[in-house]
Amino acid sequence: MDKIFIRGGKPLSGRVTISGAKNAALTLMPCALLTDEPLTLRNLPRLADVDSFGHLLNQLGVSTMVEGARPEDFGRVMTLRAGKITATVAPYDIVRKMRASILVLGPMLARAGEATVSLPGGCAIGNRPIDLHLKALEAMGAEIELASGYVKATAPKSGLPGGHVVFPLVSVGATENAVMAAVLARGETIIDNAAREPEIIDLCRCLVAMGAKIEGIGTERLVIQGRDRLHGATYQVMPDRIEAGSYACAAAITHGELELVGARHGDMTAILAGLADAGVHIEERPDSILVKANGTLNGLTLSTAPFPAFPTDMQAQFMAMLALAEGASVLTETIFENRYMHVPELARMGADIQVRGRSAVVRGVPKLNGAEVMATDLRASMGLILAGLAAEGETRVHRVYHLDRGYERLEEKLSAVGADIERQSDG
C-alpha cells in the first residue's frame, strides 16, 4: 500500500489549479442513465471514485469514452451513453467501496422502471443510513422492498407518478436521487427541505441542459415537471470547493501564499469566512482566490451544518490548522457521528484536542512533530497531510487510497508549490 512521505516546515507559495468537484462528478455521471443520447462531462477529475463510478455504470450498460486527455493535464472529458440499460442491479462489491453508488437508484428507477442496489453498510464516518432516499422515492410512487442486503425499487407499469417529498432533515444524496427520479416522472414533483449545496445546483443545471424542467434551483423547494424523455448534453463539472478549501488551509498552516485558480468564492463563503476569522488574508479575484497567511492564526468556534453553513467535509482540515492556532477552538460536528477519527492521529503529532460528544476542543500548540499516521477517511487524511506539511520533521501518512478517492494528483500539486512530499510504495 502506498504512503505519502512529507518533510514538513516549508511555506507553500504559488498557483494551484482546482480540479472538477468529486461530489458533483458523482451525481452528474448517473444522469447519463436518464437518456439514450450521449452525455459529455468536461473537467471530470481523475479520481479513484470517478473510475469506480464509471465501472458501475459500465455494468449497467452505459458506455464510457474518455477523450484525448494528455497525462499532464488535469481533468478529462468523458462521454457516457446509456443507449439501453442492460442490467438494473448495483452489486455489493462496488457499493461497499463507494457509498455514492446509491445515486444510480433514482435515475435507473425512472428510466428502467426498476432498480436494485446493495445497501451500503457501515462507513468510517458513522452509520450512514439511506432511509431518506427510499422515503423520497416512495413519496414519488415507487414500491420499495428490502431483501438479502439489497434494496429494490419498482415503479408502476405506467411510470413514476411523481409526488410531494418533504425531507425531515437535509440530505445531499437523497435530494440528488429524488431530483434524478423526478425529471422523468409522469407528473409534478415538489421537494421540500431540499439540500442547497452547489453540487445540487450543478446537477440541476446539467439536467436542465438535458431538457429537464426544474424551478427553484438553489433553494430549499424544488418543483420539477417530469418529461417523457431527456436528451444528451455537454456539461462542465464545477470546481471542487472542498479541494480549494483544503489548499487554502495548506497556505494558512504553512505560513504561505497560494492562488487557487478556478475556485469560486460564492461556493465557499463559510470556508473563507472561517479562514478570515482565523486571521488569514483572503482576496477574491475574478477567476481565483488568493490565500495568504498573516502571522499567527487565531482560535475559532465553528459548527458544521448543511450549505450555506460550514461544510463537514472541511472539519478535519480546519482542525489540523487550528491545532497550531493561538488559543482554543471549539469545533462541533452536527452532520455525521464519529467524524473525529483523525483526532488520535493528530494527537500523535503533538496536537492537544479533546472530544466531548459532538464537539472537539482544540488548544493551539506552538508546533507539531512529524510522525507515522494512519488515514481513516478521505477528509481526515487531508487533515493529516496538512499537519505533516506544517510539522517539524518527517511524516508518513499510511493508507493513501483514501486520498486518491478525492484529491487529484495531490503530491504533484503540492510539490509544485514548494512542499517536500512524495509517494512511496511498498513495492
Between 175 and 288, CB nearer to ligand UD1: 175
Give the largest Cα separation in the chain, rounded.
Answer: 66
What amino acid positions are annotated as catalytic residues?
A: 123
The end-to-end CA distance of the chain, in Å, is 8
Cβ 53 to ligand UD1 shortest distance, Å: 10
Phi and psi at 77, nearest 5°, equal -110, 130
> What is the torsional sign of CA 253, 255, 260, 263?
positive
Residue type, 51: D
Cβ 99 to ligand UD1 shortest distance, Å: 6
Say if CB 227 and CB 184 are below 8 A apart.
yes
Between 109 and 419, CB nearer to ligand UD1: 109
Cβ 197 to ligand UD1 shortest distance, Å: 6
Question: Among candidates 105, 89, 103, which has minimal Cα distance to 148?
Answer: 89
Between 254 and 315, CB nearer to ligand UD1: 315
Rg, Å, the chain Cα set: 21
Residue type, 78: M
Cβ 325 to ligand UD1 shortest distance, Å: 24
Between 312 and 317, CB nearer to ligand UD1: 312
The residue number with the shortest CB distance to ligand UD1 is 173
Between 335 and 343, CB nearer to ligand UD1: 335
Between 359 and 369, CB nearer to ligand UD1: 359
Say if CB 393 and CB 10 are below 8 A apart.
no
Looking at residue 304, what DSSP letter applies?
A: B
Question: In 268-332, where do the E strands start and end?
Answer: 281-284, 288-292, 301-303, 328-332
The footprint of ligand UD1 (CB under 6 A) covers 23, 26, 100, 128-133, 169, 171-174, 311-313, 335-336
Give start and end residues of each alpha helix (H) in 299-426: 315-322, 342-348, 378-390, 401-404, 410-416
Cβ 255 to ligand UD1 shortest distance, Å: 29
Q: Return d(Cα 254, Cα 12) in angstroms, integer.
A: 6
Between 196 and 255, CB nearer to ligand UD1: 196
Give start and end residues of each alpha helix (H) in 10-103: 22-28, 48-59, 92-95
Q: Give the containing element (helix H, strand E) for 189.
A: strand 188-192
Cβ 100 to ligand UD1 shortest distance, Å: 4
Compute the C-alpha angle 408/218/123, nearest 5°. Answer: 45
C-alpha cell at 421: 512530499
Cβ 200 to ligand UD1 shortest distance, Å: 9
Looking at residue 369, what DSSP letter applies?
A: B
